[in-house]
């Protein structure tokens, strides 16, 4: 790197504002990620928050729940308004809560996603994937996102809560609107869309929960019945906690898994040598999934709030400071990953942070891996020569990285 290029990289990094990113960042943030890692891995933002990019810093913060809180009541009040539907949802759901709420909900989810439970789910997942592949068998072209990747988690998570098949239609749009409100910067239109989605989702779930109370499901397989009963937790959830965490479960398992599958299919298209390697050695599908998670993490950003004064990278940070944890950058940290800018489906070890870490590590990580592994391996087995066509459309988000449209020719 020339001195001038190094100077440019430093300027790019030190002037970066997550709330007002430069043009092109949403579509391709990776040059800026690399500049942040090289020149400003701990970066104070204009609003007083701090952006962190190093793998070691994120890993340490995820493990330390005494000095770094997941609770977002203070941070989200000015963002959403403390009386809004979005505020109630995002401050009550599992991901943005601390114990004891986090402990109660997580226990229920963990007890429902045991290895035995996942083993029981696998035949249904295979059948869902194969049915989608059969549906496209007569088509020359398809949209990987609309016709395949987004349909899989809706069915799997819908099955977990035993949502009737005829009632699953609105779930994806609700999910996209609610999670879209987590972007660092929001328009009034997106706020209104998110609030309306939470309100409609709540109305639907109030009715579904009432029906389930009248006619409980099998708690061995029905997570909603477990949540209602408080099974495996220290006391039952309040009605608000119950509803908002049902929304969280349906949302969290949807968009991130859709992105994992879509991103993986795009990577195999864009790096033909990786596809050839996987076709030659199908057993590489598990490490391939880990590399897709690292290279194009479905979730690019996380957050924590300091509960005490801390020092990170020589910067003293006051209590109550919002920290932006840049997962997408940490997964490219050259201190941890050799040649991080290139995908390598044989990479070992692969200590990516796509599922966060510590007590808040994604509760559905094993299910997401299983969905990605079965979906991509079976698609590739059926259509090994697929190719992505012009016209792919990015998801348009900083926090969640994926595609809104990914058209492919099947042969």
Q: Which two tokens stand for residue 369?
A: 């891996």
Say if 24 falls within a structural domain.
Answer: no
HSE-CB for 324 with a 13 A CA cutoff = 27
Say if 10 falls within a structural domain.
Answer: no
The pLDDT tens digits for 361-373 are 998 999 999 999 9
Q: What percent of the chain has pLDDT over 70?
A: 97
- Is residue 335 classed as helix, strand or coil in its secondary structure? coil
CATH number at residue 302: 1.10.630.10
Say if 350 falls within a structural domain.
Answer: yes
- CA-CA distance, 282 to 391, in Å (whole number)? 29
Give Cβ neighbours of residue 174 (< 8 Å, ≥ 6 apart): 197, 198, 200, 201, 247, 250, 251
Say if 398 falls within a structural domain.
Answer: yes
The number of folded domains in the chain is 1
Say if 8 falls within a structural domain.
Answer: no
Say if 12 falls within a structural domain.
Answer: no
- CA-CA distance, 379 to 410, in Å (whole number)? 10
Give Cβ neighbours of residue 69 (< 8 Å, ≥ 6 apart): 98, 304, 305, 306, 307
Mean pLDDT of 187-205: 95
Say if 133 falls within a structural domain.
Answer: yes
Mean pLDDT of 160-177: 91
Residue 115 lies in domain:
46-409
Look up the pTM and report it. Answer: 0.92
Q: Does the pLDDT value for residue 378 go beyond 90?
A: yes
Q: What percent of the chain has pLDDT over 90?
A: 75
- Compute the CA torsion angle 178, 72, 361, 45 (nearest 10 deg): 90
């Amino acid at each position: 790197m020339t001195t001038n290029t190094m100077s440019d990289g430093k300027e790019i990094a030190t002037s970066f504002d997550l709330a007002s990113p430069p043009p092109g960042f949403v579509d391709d943030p990776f040059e800026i990620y690399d500049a942040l890692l090289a020149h400003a891995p701990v970066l104070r933002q204009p609003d007083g928050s701090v952006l962190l990019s190093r793998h070691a810093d994120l890993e340490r913060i995820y493990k330390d729940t005494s000095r770094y809180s997941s609770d977002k009541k203070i941070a989200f009040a000015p963002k959403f308004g403390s009386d809004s539907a979005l505020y109630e949802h995002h401050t009550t759901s599992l991901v943005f809560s601390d114990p004891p709420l986090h402990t109660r909900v997580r226990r229920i989810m963990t007890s429902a996603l045991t290895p035995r439970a996942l083993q029981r789910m696998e035949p249904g997942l295979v059948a869902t994937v194969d049915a989608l592949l059969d549906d496209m068998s007569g088509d020359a072209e398809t949209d990987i996102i609309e016709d395949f990747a987004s349909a899989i988690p809706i069915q799997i998570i819908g099955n977990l809560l035993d949502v009737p098949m005829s009632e699953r239609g609105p779930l994806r749009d609700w999910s996209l609107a609610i999670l879209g409100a987590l972007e660092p910067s929001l328009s009034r239109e997106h706020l209104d869309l998110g609030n309306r989605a939470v309100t409609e989702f709540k109305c639907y779930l109030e009715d579904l929960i009432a029906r389930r109370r009248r006619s409980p499901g099998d708690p061995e397989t029905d997570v909603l019945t477990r949540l209602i009963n408080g099974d495996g937790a220290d006391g039952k959830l309040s009605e608000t906690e119950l509803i908002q965490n049902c929304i969280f479960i349906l949302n969290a398992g949807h968009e991130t898994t859709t992105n994992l599958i879509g991103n993986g299919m795009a990577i195999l298209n864009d790096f033909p040598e990786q596809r050839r390697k996987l076709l030659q050695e199908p057993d590489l599908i598990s490490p391939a999934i880990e590399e897709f998670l690292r290279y194009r993490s479905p979730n690019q950003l996380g957050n924590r709030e300091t509960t005490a004064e801390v020092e990170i990278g020589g910067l003293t940070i006051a209590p109550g400071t919002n920290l932006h944890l840049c997962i997408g950058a940490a997964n490219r940290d050259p201190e941890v990953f050799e040649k991080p800018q290139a995908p390598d489906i044989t990479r070992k070890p692969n200590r990516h942070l796509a599922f966060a870490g510590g007590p808040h590590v994604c509760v559905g990580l094993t299910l997401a891996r299983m969905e990605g592994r079965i979906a991509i391996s079976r698609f590739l087995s059926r259509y090994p020569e697929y190719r992505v066509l012009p016209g792919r459309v990015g998801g348009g988000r900083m926090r969640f990285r994926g595609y809104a449209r990914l058209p492919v020719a099947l042969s």
